[in-house]
Amino acid sequence: MRAILQRVSSASVTIQNQVKGSIGTGLLVLLGIAPQDTDEDAEWLCRKITAMRIFADGNGLMNLSVKEAGGNILLVSQFTLYASTK
């Protein structure tokens, strides 16, 4: 699995002029899944992403997880993370 994370103040996914998902403050996660990835890989990555302390606390230090910061996660399938560009 490959994931790109971006902290956002808001994010949305629009398909054919219709919003399919949106969040306020939180994480936008672009996720690529390979054929050899397992359920255990997915569970590990979910735990890792939700536990990462990448949001500022009251002192401005990156000391809060997305959950502790009261944020949400917007997960977008991104199969091109495994594309061969040769």
16 is catalytic: no
18 is catalytic: no
Choose, from 16, 18, 36, 80, the residue flagged as catalytic: 80
What whole-number distance in Å separates Cα of residue 84 and Cα of residue 79? 11
80 is catalytic: yes
- The phi, psi pair for 25, rounded to 5°, reads -60, 135
The residues assigned a catalytic role are: 78-80
